[in-house]
Structure 1
Amino acid sequence: MRRPMRLFSVGVVALALVAAGCTENTGQNDEGDQQEASTQTAVLAENSDGPAPEVKGAQKGGTVTIYTSADFEHLDPQQNYVIPSTTTGTNLIYRTLTTFRENGDGKLEVVGDLATNTGEESNGGKTWKYTLKDGLKYEDGSPITAQDVAYGIARSFSPDLTEGPKYFQSWLAGSSDYNAKYKGPYDGGAKIPPNVSVPDDKTIIFNFPSPHADVPFAAAMVTTSPVPEKRDTKTQYDNRPFSSGPYKIETYRRTQQMTLVRNEHWDPNTDPVRHDYPDKYVIEFTRTDAQASELLLADQGAAQTALTFQDLQIPASVYPKVIANPDAKKRILTGPTQFVWAFNFNLHRVKDINVRKAFNYALDREGLLKVWGSYSGIPATTILSPTTSGYQDYNLYDGGKNGDPEKAKELLGGKRVPLVYAYRNTERNQAVAAFLRSSMKEAGFDLNIQPVDEDQYYTVLGRKDNAFDVYLRGWGADWPGGGTTIPPQFDGDQITPTGNQNLSYMDDAKANKEMDDILALSDLTEADKRWAALDKDIMTRVVPIAPALYDKQTTMYGSRIGGIYLSAPYGNSGLNNLYVK
């Protein structure tokens, strides 16, 4: 993903980010009253030392079980870009150059993780130096080196590893076509990427062709996770990433279960954010929304020390029982997140803008919410989330609460339009697909609904030649600001044969140029205004999506889980402070 960065003094950066909520239910009633999203500041911390502050009441021991509905699409850090796997990876298994420090108290800092600080800037923001801490070790006791960090970034260039964030690759190459001259370390390629130098085992230096002030934030992405060359199994690294964090993989039965145990070589004195309170984590990949919620509602046995992830929300069929139970109601993890759910049109296939406008008018957002869970979001009409700095509200295609089939028919000229709708094959998304097919009929849309395996969903949709017309996708900012929301989703210069984040395959010259121009601004207030304006312009001239819902996390945890909170950067249950009561 190409993203030339804004220029401003990193020493005084303070960026707005969603305040992602609370650790338990705050009194929402069964009519679905919503907590409003607020903002908080993310600042660069001066102190990156470990250990992490102790969590009040925490103790060592016990097993935490995590219920999910499918296996991770990718656990390889350089391909990891979906929230459940990213949370698991960065909180438990591997570390990055920097990371976010949060404790559920509304304060958020960027700190050095593997690095001693958030980076040393020079050369007008083009050069960034990171020095690794002493005592960093992998799960086998071998040292983590700067060469390993460079090698991890190098392998992210490989055409064989197409998923994952693309910031560092594009910045280092000075182009979104980062594979033009360098294709990673495989097949005889260099083990250190272009514009990176590693003068010794503790030092890595980035010399970007252009200034990039957001490097400390990008360095917290999984791209900077170290990978020792001798452990690299290329496309098979998903099956057994090598641990640099507090836990390592004991067993991993794909599609069934993963068990994590302590990495005895992880040194808490080097880590400013993580703990290793539980003896073990067991991740079950086979639970439905209803199964997981019923288990947690009953709160017996292993469920007492279990929790659900973002992909498993309390379903509408179980929610009334949960809020009617005072004990269960206290164990809801709830709060607004930075995600917007939207129906993406494949512009290679849905070429008539009136079809896309008609879909927006016809969309019954209130009805969709009843299927999705009225407590799990609010109707959306914009690209940017209300949690995003500079967000401005508008509604260009106002079909009322339940959509306007007549307006849609008018735009379609009375013709019926067939669309192939791909949906993630989960309990909730099956219901959404059935609802959409039924509710869109009156407006003139005939939907052919087709399931895609959950652990392959974004891989399949990320293929430029995918065979679908429309699909539901959730996107949240990688770090504060419109620059990690609009360009990744809509910059046409970022389109590649596979591994795309621009799932609408939008390539609009005017919008592409405006994205580049905004990203080069030094005035953040002006940038916020222009992101908001571009949001509306894209939805006026191009209409690549039909915004559906602003997300709200609504999941459950067992009565013996302690230290849980809703993580602002991930919009998911934070794992780094968990303990068993």
Structure 2
Amino acid sequence: MRPRLAVAAAGAMVVVAALGACSKNTGSNEGGGSTVQKNTGGIATNPKDSQGPAPAVAGAKKGGDLQILQDSDFEHLDPQRTYVVQAMSAEQLFARTLTMFRQDKGGKLTLVGDLATGPGKDLDGNKCMNWEYTLKDGLKYEDGSPITAKDVAYGISRSYSSQIAEGPHYLAQWLSNEAEYNKTYKGPYNGGADIAPGLEVKGDKTLRFHFKQPHCDLPFALQLPTSAPVPKAKDTGAKYDNKPFSSGPYKVKQYIRGTKLVLERNKYWDPKTDPIRHDYADTISYTFGPTDVTQTNRLIADSGPDQYAVAQQNVPQTLLPKVNGDSTLKSRTIAGQAPFVYYAAVNTQNIKDLKTRQAIAYAIDRKAVIQTLGGSQLADPAYTLLSPTVLGQQDYKAFDGGPSGNPAKAKELLGGKHPQIVFGYRNNPWGQRLAPSMQQALEKAGFKVVLKPVDAENYFTELGRKNNAFDLYVTDWAADWPTGAAVMPVLTDGRTIQANGNNDVSYYNDDAYNAKLDAASKVPAAQAGPKWAALDKEWAQTAATIPIYYSKSLSLTGSKVGGVELSTDLGTNLYTSAYLK
């Protein structure tokens, strides 16, 4: 999602990124090649870039209630458990991290210090094994108490705990130097110390990271919500999902699971410490339940409170002609390239036979899936696990059945057999449209398909359970930062597989392949692109994951909403500069 090049500056190894811009993608891409336009951004080297306040938004004013319409509740709001972009977008309003991407009007991203005074200091002159972060002055929680380095360290340390295993694991794996990050230290809930080995706290403002291997990507990893501070006295374990303790401009006022989330201003947030966020709206209210069709129709009508609303979901296929044909909606459309690769993951614990997995790959009808979900305005066919926006990505097709699949080739591979596949799908409008399309294509190829819905709020949690009840499912991924290092090891390293919280949801493990992942991880980012592309091709031969489409975004806002933009980083709406007219 965010390709980058490595350069040295300011006494530390820093990374300059070529970042996917928020640009419209015209025409379809049936050949599978990228039509993504790219922008450039980087990492801040001037300390002033990390200072606040954020630049004022022209025409913005304070006041009002911003309404966000969303089809289902968040799986998690606990920062250390969050790995779904809609929740990560919401969290930017109430949970600050050590670093953060700042986005300009053109979609260009710059990594700056958020809680920290800058993107970090490499203490050993570009060796990337010992890093130091200093917190800014004036940082406070929602009750006025100070945010400390110990709180940041405790937040990272609690991410080791198996009870809250759904979030990113980069920091825990790097600090422990183990793919199975909690083999020894299991976090503060399980008898461990409050601060994980490898973290050093010096006073209230200094936090150091000590690694056994180089990790030059640390500044980027710290913009993930794992580095959000959590004071131990406020940690309620699994219940922290219900009311995270705010370090940002908003705090949780009311949260009724499955119904609504209301955020209100945190009066102790100091904009002078924050180079990214504003608090223009008095409150920001999420309403859970409206489908994409309902959201779009309400915003087309643009009446009453919906003038102050935003649709979180894309315009559905059935309403695209209406939206495209109404010129008055152009100024209220948020459109651009999203960074996600949607792919079918085969549970290889159940489907061990390679030919059966190859038959699934040949059977998939990408054209039908894309048309079902909205057509070329919302997706391009995908054949690689690496997004075209990742540095070094190379187009490649494994077991290619053409745009509409090749059921005859699939049948040949099955050799007259008719295997049963339990297909788990997300029980929301997206999943309800996707599942029949997948079923029809697979059944044409000779499979027997049983569809099983999964509650939308728990979908990724269920897929991440090693003992889940499914053979096949469609999930998605966007790189957490701009190299294959934030894709291939996360999705394909079988050594990371645990009971819960897995990202490798194909559950495939191969020692020889894993060794190649390790080798690529040690290559400097500027030279690593071809290594990751080669591993993408090699992984494709397992047919453990089958890319289907690269996503785009197209949604609407009400006529009295301003400042909402598509996040180049997250690929979903960004509300840090939102205001009401």
- Structure 1 length normalisation: TM-score? 0.95
The residue identity in structure 2 corresponding to 1:36 is V
How far did residue 320 of structure 1 move?
1.1
Q: CA deviation at 1:28?
A: 5.6
After superposition, where does 1:414-493 map in structure 2 within 5 Å? 414-493=416-495
* Superposed counterparts of 1:107-122, under 5 Å: 107-122=108-123
Letter in 2 for 1:422: G
Q: Which residue of 1 aligns with 2:518?
A: 516
Matched, 1:366 2:370: no
Report deviation, 1:17: 4.4
Q: Show the counterpart of 2:295.
A: 292
Moved more, 413-422 or 9-18: 9-18
* Structure 2 SS opposite 1:420: strand
Aligned twin of 1:574:
574
Match of 1:232 among 232, 235, 238: 235
Aligned ranges 1:493-512 → 2 under 5 Å: 493-512=495-514
Q: Distance in 1 between matches of 2:14 and 2:234?
A: 37
Secondary structure at the aligned position of 1:303 is classed as: helix
Structure 2 residue 103 is the aligned partner of structure 1 residue 98: no
Cα distance, 1:104 vs. partner? 3.0
Deviates further, 158-167 or 123-132: 123-132
**Post-superposition CA distance 1:415-468 (Å, at most 9, x none):** 212100000100121111012112321211111010000110111111111110
Aligned partners of 1:424 and 1:454 also within 8 Å: yes
Judged with a 3 Å threshold, the aligned counterparts in structure 2 of structure 1 residues 39 and 493 are, in CA distance, closer, same or farther, namely farther
Q: Distance in 2 between matches of 1:187 and 1:345?
A: 33
Cα displacement (A) at 1:29: 8.0
- SS across alignment from 2:512: helix
- For residue 328 of structure 1, what is the aligned residue in structure 2? 329
Q: Is the 8 A contact 1:104 1:567 kept in 2?
A: no
Paired residues of 1:78 and 1:161 also in contact (CA < 8 A): yes
Confirm or deny that 1:166 pairs with 2:169: yes
Farther off after superposition, 168-177 or 435-444: 435-444
The question of 1:203 aligning with 2:199 is answered: no
Whole-angstrom CA distance in 1 between matches of 2:526 and 2:196: 34
Distance 2:183 2:8 in 1: 31
- How do residues 61-140 of structure 1 correspond to structure 2 at under 5 angstroms? 61-90=63-92, 92-123=93-124, 124-140=127-143
Cα distance change, pair 356–233 in 1 and its aligned pair in 2 (3 A): same
Instruction: Indicate if the aligned counterparts of 1:341 and 1:549 stay in contact, CA closer than 8 A.
Output: yes
In structure 2, list runs of 5 or more residues that go unmatched: none
Alpha-carbon spacing, 1:539–1:27, altered in 2? closer, same or farther (3 Å): closer
Task: Count how many residue pairs are aligned between Structure 1 and Structure 2.
Answer: 568
Residues 337 and 387, structure 1, Cα contact 8 Å, conserved in 2: no
User: Which of 303, 308, 319 pairs up with 1:305?
Assistant: 308
Contact persistence 1:58–1:580 (CA under 8 A):
yes
1:27 & 1:189 partners in 2: Cα distance? 50
Deviation string, structure 1 residues 154-199 (Cα, Å, up to 9, x no partner): 1111121111010111111111122122111124421111111112
TM-score, normalized by length of structure 2? 0.95
Contact in 2 for aligned 1:37/1:386 (Cα 8 Å): no
Counterpart in the other structure of 1:3 = none
- Give 1:546's aligned amino acid: I
Which secondary structure state, in structure 2, belongs to the residue aligned with residue 517 of structure 1?
Answer: helix
Residue 194 of structure 2 is matched in structure 1 by 191
Deviation, 1:360, is: 1.4
What's the offset of the Cα at 1:9?
4.0
Residue 248, structure 1, aligned to residue 251, structure 2: yes
2:341–2:547: 8 Å Cα contact kept in structure 1? yes
Give CA-to-partner distance per residue, 1:187-243, whole Å, 9 cap, x none: 442111111111201111111122211111111111110011111100100000000
CA distance in 2, matches of 1:27, 1:406: 33
Give 1:576's aligned amino acid: T
Counterpart of 1:95 in structure 2: which amino acid?
A: R
* Mapped partners of 2:253, 2:325: distance in 1: 39
Aligned counterparts of 2:512 and 2:7: Cα–Cα separation in 1: 25
- Equivalent position of 2:393 in the other structure: 391
How far does the alpha carbon of each residue in 1:74-129 deviate from its partner, in whole angstroms, 9 at most, with x for none? 10000011000011002x01100111111232321111111111111113321111
User: Is contact 2:520-2:532 (8 Å) kept?
Assistant: yes
Counterpart in 2 of 1:263?
266
Whole-angstrom CA distance in 1 between matches of 2:399 and 2:367: 15
**Mean Cα displacement is larger for which, 344-353 or 41-50?**
41-50
User: Is the partner of 2:443 in helix, strand or coil?
Assistant: coil
TM-fit CA distance, 1:544 = 0.9
Distance verdict in 2 for CA 1:31–1:116, change over 3 Å: closer
Q: CA RMSD in A?
A: 1.9
**Change in 2 beyond 3 A, CA 1:215/1:351:** same
Q: Tell me, what secondary structure is at the counterpart of 1:201?
A: coil
Letter paired with 1:538: W
Aligned residue type for 1:578: A
Aligned twin of 1:13: 14
Specify the alignment match of 2:52 in structure 1: 50
Offset of residue 308 of structure 1: 2.1
Q: Deviations over 1:375-415 (max 9, x none)?
A: 21111111111111111112122222211111111111122
Aligned equivalents of 1:316, 1:150: Cα separation in 2: 45
2:36–2:389 contact (8 Å) kept in structure 1: no
2-structure distance, mates of 1:146, 1:550: 39
**Equivalent residue letter for 2:333:** I
Question: Which ranges in structure 1 are unaligned for 5 or more consecutive residues?
Answer: 1-5
SS state of the match for residue 440, structure 1? Answer: helix
| Secondary structure of residue in 2 paired with 1:261 | strand
Checking the alignment, whether the CA contact within 8 Å between 2:567 and 2:574 is kept in structure 1 is yes
Assess, with a 3 A threshold, how the Cα gap between structure 1 residues 9 and 496 changes in structure 2: closer, same or farther. Answer: farther
| Equivalent position of 1:563 in the other structure | 563
Deviations 1:226-280 (A, max 9, x none): 0111111001000000000000011000000010010000000000100001111
Instruction: For residues 360-382 of structure 1, give each alpha carbon's deviation from its aligned partner in whole angstroms, at most 9, with x where no partner exists.
Output: 11111111111111121111111
1:273 and 2:276 equivalent? yes
Q: Judge conservation of contact 2:29–2:380 (CA < 8 Å) in 1.
A: no
Percent identical residues? 43
Distance 1:137 1:55 in 2: 24
Residue identity matched to 2:202: P
Letter in 2 for 1:230: A
**8 Å contact from structure 1 (residues 333, 553) kept in 2:** yes
Which piece of structure 1 moves more, 429-438 or 70-79? 429-438
Aligned with 1:133: secondary structure?
coil
Residue from 179, 182, 201 that aligns with 2:182: 179
